[in-house]
Amino acid sequence: MINVVRARWVLPIEPWQVVHDGAVAFDDDGILAVGPAQDVLADYPEATVETFDNHALMPGMVNAHTHAAMTLLRGYGDDLPLMSWLNDRIWPTESRWVDPGFVADGTRLAAAEMLAGGVTCFSDMYFFPQAAIEVAQRYGIRIMSGQVVVDGRTTYARDAAEHIEKGLAVIETHKNTPRVHFALAPHAPYTVSDDVFGQLVELCERLDVPMHTHVHETQAEVEQGLDEYGVRPLARLDRLGVVGPRLIAAHAVHLTDDEIALLGRRGAALVHCPVSNLKLASGIARLTQWLGAGIRAGLGTDGAASNNRLDVFGDMRVAAMLAKGTSGDAAAVAAPVALHLATMGSAAAMGLDQQIGSLSRGKSVDMIAVDLSGFELAPIYDVGSHLVNSAGRENVTDVWVDGNRCKRDGELTRDDPSELAALARSWQQRIG
Amino acid sequence: MINVVRARWVLPIEPWQVVHDGAVAFDDDGILAVGPAQDVLADYPEATVETFDNHALMPGMVNAHTHAAMTLLRGYGDDLPLMSWLNDRIWPTESRWVDPGFVADGTRLAAAEMLAGGVTCFSDMYFFPQAAIEVAQRYGIRIMSGQVVVDGRTTYARDAAEHIEKGLAVIETHKNTPRVHFALAPHAPYTVSDDVFGQLVELCERLDVPMHTHVHETQAEVEQGLDEYGVRPLARLDRLGVVGPRLIAAHAVHLTDDEIALLGRRGAALVHCPVSNLKLASGIARLTQWLGAGIRAGLGTDGAASNNRLDVFGDMRVAAMLAKGTSGDAAAVAAPVALHLATMGSAAAMGLDQQIGSLSRGKSVDMIAVDLSGFELAPIYDVGSHLVNSAGRENVTDVWVDGNRCKRDGELTRDDPSELAALARSWQQRIG
């Protein structure tokens, strides 16, 4: 069966264009055509047509760095300096509470929040990934499941070897599951030894998956790395063979010009997490320089404990305005660049740009409709800049992932909002 | 008649506290009591009680710097460098289109957007202020009407003298109109001469009103002032007697330590416009230093042409996260400070802190209810930080201004959303 979704505006994102009265045709195998509604309807006269008179149709937002289950710790320890936030609040709470039930419920809350807000795919890094994958399957969101590795004991595994072993088992179990992608995810240079990084480089090669990790999030981390290893963490990772096209480095707030150039040369990907970086006082990553160096750059919310919204629309706007404000150039990260960052950019950073990230023939139907008819959004002179600067996740009414409808006319199709809130409250009572 | 509004949480803002199961009692003259629901209900047993089980009740947001009618130019010329934005887009369009009809319709759109998003009062600086006041009266929002003065011809007046004359007439007409406050509003140091500033200092004194102006918004403005006058604009204003307790200076992005100290000593007020300053690449004002110097600081959206949302909730969050990210201190501008900035801070900056800005006995009922029951906002460990970091204007369900209900259960009571959108579209067709 062929479906056509027709909308007042269609933004394929790559190539950049705004099709007025556009349409997307698709079947079970993916997108068949994108273009002016007249042409698409003529090519597919038998299609079932759905029309969105007030909407912009665009690829789903891709959240390239998060810890989904941490929704259960949303706002738990706000306004604390980073180290007391981690040492006094987050880490003790995680060691007390994190188990498959926590991950299932927290990821469910995250999946609902992200789908409702137009996020169709997320790159996750958390314990008990099997539980997160099952939730993603059930609620329909696309996941890149990062198999977390820490050099030490967590509630998930007793040491690096067991983290790796469990991760490999998860990958084996789900290697053919639709809408599930994988990464190996050593937590960070300061929690993973050289040996383990070395093993993971080989495993990534063998399994043909990316390596998702935190890099240079804070100045303290860089200094600690210098103290301990005599070189900055990125240099150490480079020596270990980590810095290449498989690397997805989240945060990267503190990079020298040379480090940016190196990452560009090596073909590595970076994930910008502007809201988390501001809120935890980590600093402001140099997005315009990244883009200038040709780095594959994506956008991530980070976990809800440090954001506190899994809101890629909002973070896209912050990314764009921060780039302007810190570069002194109001034309920096213009709307087409910001929208690209949050969709194709993230997809490319995750190595998924052949499958998602734009509306184009052969890609998966990961797509959202954004209602721009509200008076808060009027008038509309430029729909692209409107999507960045005026609209928000609250304007997303319809969401498709892999052709399945996950939100319809403002309502989640696969979950019950009141159940979700109750679920979160029950954890709040236990944890709080 | 006495009304009691009871809510799951009441945040008077000043003093800082969160009253669980709190209530506010009020009559036509203003707020009678704020406190635990049990106490308030016992004191006013005959009151009509309305209960908000899932809501935080707090003072309305105060937008201390905007150009309301510019909603009609929302997103008109995004991603342009400041000078081409002004010279090629905004100013030519304004000279072609701005008249009382433009101001009435644009301000109506702004009033609806602000009221819907929990803003109960705004400080306006625009041409044809009479039209804006009439709209504010009709739709119920509180306005501080800045009588704009430019040293030259505008569509509103032919020279500074006529701007002043018209402004004084507006003040005379509305001096006893409820919910209307006044300022004199010389546009900026670079558009107003020494003589005119001198006259306005005297007039502010005589009329007992503040002076609302733009100061040090961009580095270029500071340099141009230096070139033209041999001193930085703030120093020039100080020499002219402008820098005192009556001054409300918007933006103030580029201030030296000495200038911040001077503003503190003089008792002047500053209005932080973080989103506009980022979007136009003006820079990042040093809010934490302002607060450290004891400056009365408020928060403003600026006009919709440079924001593009008149969203004080969103801008409060950006202000808080920017302060953390640029100071390196995650505890900077903690939630109580951010909430204060957007309510009492703005009210105090405008000299209205005896009437609005907090929920306390004798003040006007300028109040909002924010529904925190959504799953995107769950769980809730700390309602204060939640209002800053997780909630948004989309969660504001009920709004009172001066005791009048302007939004009820998610709907504006005095305007029709579809009419508003149509109004904006008609201007879009003419202008675009």
Q: What is the mean pLDDT of residues A329-341?
A: 97
B275/A324 touch (CB, cutoff 8 Å), yes or no: no
Residue A432: per-residue pLDDT: 83
Sheet with B211-215, side-by-side order of all strands: B61-66, B119-126, B142-149, B180-186, B211-215, B247-251, B269-272, B296-299
B378/A74 touch (CB, cutoff 8 Å), yes or no: yes
With beta carbons under 8 A apart, name residues in chain B contacting A431.
Answer: 379, 381
Which chain A residue lies closest to B83 (C-alpha atoms)? A330
With beta carbons under 8 A apart, name residues in chain A contacting B327.
Answer: 281
B379/A424 touch (CB, cutoff 8 Å), yes or no: yes
Q: How many CB atoms lie within 10 A of CB A331?
A: 16
pLDDT tens-digit series, residues A245-272: 999 999 999 999 999 999 999 999 999 9
Cβ pairs A/B, distance under 8 A: 203
Residue A129: per-residue pLDDT: 98
B390/A80 touch (CB, cutoff 8 Å), yes or no: no
Q: What is the mean pLDDT of residues A171-183?
A: 98
pLDDT at A222 over 80: yes
For A3-59+366-401, the fitting CATH number among 2.40.37.10, 3.40.640.10, 3.90.226.10, 2.30.40.10 is 2.30.40.10
pLDDT at A133 over 90: yes
With beta carbons under 8 A apart, name residues in chain A contacting B420.
Answer: 375, 378
pLDDT at B85 over 90: no
Residue A54: pLDDT band by 50, 70, 90 thresholds? very high
Q: Which amino acid is at B160?
A: A
To the nearest whole angstrom, how far is the Cα of B73 from the nearest Cα of chain A? 7
B194-207 vs B160-174: helix crossing angle, rounded to 10: 10
Residues contacting A270, CB < 8 A, separation 6+: A248, A249, A250, A252, A263, A285, A290, A295, A296, A297, A298, A349
Q: CA of B241: how far to CAs of A306, B183, B201, B236, B297, in Å?
A: 45, 16, 7, 9, 20
Q: CA of A112: how far to CAs of A62, A92, A392, B345, B386, in Å?
A: 14, 26, 16, 36, 19
The minimal CB distance from A389 to the residues B75, B330, B378 is found for B75
Residue B86: pLDDT band by 50, 70, 90 thresholds? confident
Which chain A residue lies closest to B328 (C-alpha atoms)? A281
A428/B380 touch (CB, cutoff 8 Å), yes or no: yes
B76/A328 touch (CB, cutoff 8 Å), yes or no: no
Would you call B122 helix, strand, or coil by DSSP? strand
To the nearest whole angstrom, how far is the Cα of A284 from the nearest Cα of chain B? 7
Q: CA of B206: how far to CAs of B151, B198, B203, B355, in Å?
A: 21, 13, 5, 21
With beta carbons under 8 A apart, name residues in chain B contacting A76.
Answer: 381
pLDDT tens-digit series, residues B24-44: 999 999 999 999 999 999 999
Residue A82: pLDDT band by 50, 70, 90 thresholds? confident
Residue B83: per-residue pLDDT: 77
A376/B427 touch (CB, cutoff 8 Å), yes or no: no
B376/A78 touch (CB, cutoff 8 Å), yes or no: no
Which chain B residue lies closest to A281 (C-alpha atoms)? B325
Q: How large a percentage of chain A has pLDDT more than 90?
A: 97
Residues contacting B263, CB < 8 A, separation 6+: B234, B243, B249, B252, B255, B270, B290, B293, B295
Question: Would the pTM of this model clear 0.90, i.e. be above it?
Answer: yes
pLDDT tens-digit series, residues B3-12: 999 999 999 9
B324/A279 touch (CB, cutoff 8 Å), yes or no: yes
With beta carbons under 8 A apart, name residues in chain B contacting A379.
Answer: 72, 74-75, 424-425, 427-428, 431-432
Residue A74: per-residue pLDDT: 96
pLDDT at B360 over 90: yes
- The ipTM estimated for the assembled molecules is 0.97
Query: Which has the higher per-residue pLDDT, A84 or A116?
Result: A116
To the nearest whole angstrom, how far is the Cα of A209 from the nearest Cα of chain B? 31
Residue A22: pLDDT band by 50, 70, 90 thresholds? very high
What is the pairing mode between strands A269-272 and A247-251? parallel
To the nearest whole angstrom, how far is the Cα of A167 from the nearest Cα of chain B? 29
B379/A432 touch (CB, cutoff 8 Å), yes or no: yes
pLDDT at B66 over 80: yes
Q: Which residues of chain B are in CATH 2.30.40.10 domains?
A: 3-59+366-401
Residues contacting A301, CB < 8 A, separation 6+: A63, A65, A66, A273, A275, A276, A307, A309, A310, A311, A312, A315
What are B353-356's contacts with CB under 8 Å, separation 24+? Answer: B356/B59, B356/B60, B356/B62, B356/B120, B356/B121, B356/B142
With beta carbons under 8 A apart, name residues in chain A contacting B119.
Answer: none
Q: How large a percentage of chain B has pLDDT more than 90?
A: 97
| Residue B386 in tokens | 């939640």
Residue B77: pLDDT band by 50, 70, 90 thresholds? confident
pLDDT at A81 over 80: no
pLDDT at B81 over 80: no
A284/B325 touch (CB, cutoff 8 Å), yes or no: yes
B385/A309 touch (CB, cutoff 8 Å), yes or no: no
pLDDT at A356 over 90: yes
Mean pLDDT score across all residues of chain B: 97
Q: Which CATH class is domain A61-349?
A: alpha beta
Residue B220: per-residue pLDDT: 93
Q: Which residues of chain A are in CATH 3.20.20.140 domains?
A: 61-349
Backbone φ, ψ for residue B67 (5° rounding)? -125, 85
B281/A330 touch (CB, cutoff 8 Å), yes or no: yes
- From the CA atom positions of chain B, what is the Rg in Å? 21
Mean pLDDT score across all residues of chain A: 97
B284/A112 touch (CB, cutoff 8 Å), yes or no: no
d(C-alpha A165, C-alpha A118), whole Å: 34
Which chain A residue lies closest to B418 (C-alpha atoms)? A375
Residue A340: per-residue pLDDT: 98
Which of A79, A275, A340, A372 should one mutate to test binding to chain B, selecting the residue with the greatest count of B CBs within 10 A? A79
pLDDT at A226 over 90: yes
